[in-house]
């Protein structure tokens, strides 16, 4: 190898590493801004749901869970438009805000108020059943479509980590979203039935 060729090779490697570092800096800057803005939106909405006593506890919790799903999916779509889809999956860290759902209704419970009655328990049971049933229906449908599309003897190359991520996170998002939508629909139907 000539010295000119090796100097050109080292220069191109240096440029590639600088470009990779700039891409990493851009990713973390955009990701940080999106997560901070999304966190502010989620916290403001959480404070509103904690303070709003006109709705039932389960209805406020369902609205909060649905907001977290919507904000997370919007962040993921925005990130995949800017970067590759693998990097956009980092947006799903916002699903950790589901852990704050217990804060809604906690103040009423501390003051001795009954926050969940039999009607609320029935709505929660139906919503949870609908959420988990939708996950299993979607899982069987995806596997059925894959079997019909690829055939029984086909080899599909997919990383176990990617498949596990999509099953776990996709299943959680689907169950929580369907459960929240069913909860809100049932409360809406009850409110409509009481006023008519």
pLDDT digits (tens, 9 = 90+) for 138-187: 989 988 888 888 887 877 777 777 777 888 888 899 999 999 999 999 99
Q: Please list the alpha-helical segments (H only) found in the chain.
A: 3-51, 57-82, 85-88, 106-110, 118-150, 160-195
Mean of pLDDT values over 30-51: 84
**Residue 6: what pLDDT?**
57
Q: Please list the alpha-helical segments (H only) found in 83-159.
A: 85-88, 106-110, 118-150
Mean of pLDDT values over 4-16: 62
Q: Which residue has the higher pLDDT, 5 or 128?
A: 128
Cα separation, 101 vs 82, in Å, equals: 31
Cα separation, 41 vs 34, in Å, equals: 11
pLDDT digits (tens, 9 = 90+) for 104-124: 888 777 777 777 889 999 999
**Residue 5: what pLDDT?**
54
Cα separation, 128 vs 178, in Å, equals: 8
Query: To the nearest 10°, the Cα dihedral for 127, 110, 48, 97?
Result: -60
What length is written for the chain?
196
pLDDT digits (tens, 9 = 90+) for 42-70: 888 888 888 888 888 899 999 999 999 99
- pLDDT at residue 4 greater than cutoff 60: no
Report the b/e string of 65-79 with b at 16+ CB within 10 A: bbbbbebbeebbebb
Q: Which residue has the higher pLDDT, 39 or 154?
A: 39
């Amino acid at each position: 190898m000539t010295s000119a060729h090796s100097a050109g090779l080292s220069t191109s490697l240096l440029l590639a590493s600088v470009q990779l570092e700039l891409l990493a800096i851009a990713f973390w800057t955009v990701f940080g801004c999106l997560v901070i803005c999304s966190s502010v939106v989620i916290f403001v909405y959480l404070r509103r749901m904690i303070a709003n006593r006109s709705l039932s506890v389960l209805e406020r919790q369902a609205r909060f869970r649905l907001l977290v799903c919507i904000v997370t999916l919007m962040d993921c779509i925005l990130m995949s438009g800017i970067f590759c889809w693998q990097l956009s999956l980092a947006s799903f860290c916002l699903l950790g805000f589901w852990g704050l759902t217990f804060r809604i209704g906690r103040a009423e419970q501390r003051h001795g108020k009954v926050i969940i009655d039999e009607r609320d328990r029935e709505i929660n049971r139906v919503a949870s059943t609908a959420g988990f049933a939708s996950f299993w229906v979607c899982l069987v449908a995806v596997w059925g479509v894959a079997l019909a599309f690829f055939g029984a003897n086909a080899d599909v190359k997919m990383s176990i980590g990617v498949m596990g991520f999509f099953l776990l996170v996709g299943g959680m998002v689907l169950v929580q979203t369907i459960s929240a939508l069913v909860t809100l629909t049932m409360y809406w139907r009850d409110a409509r039935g009481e006023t008519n």
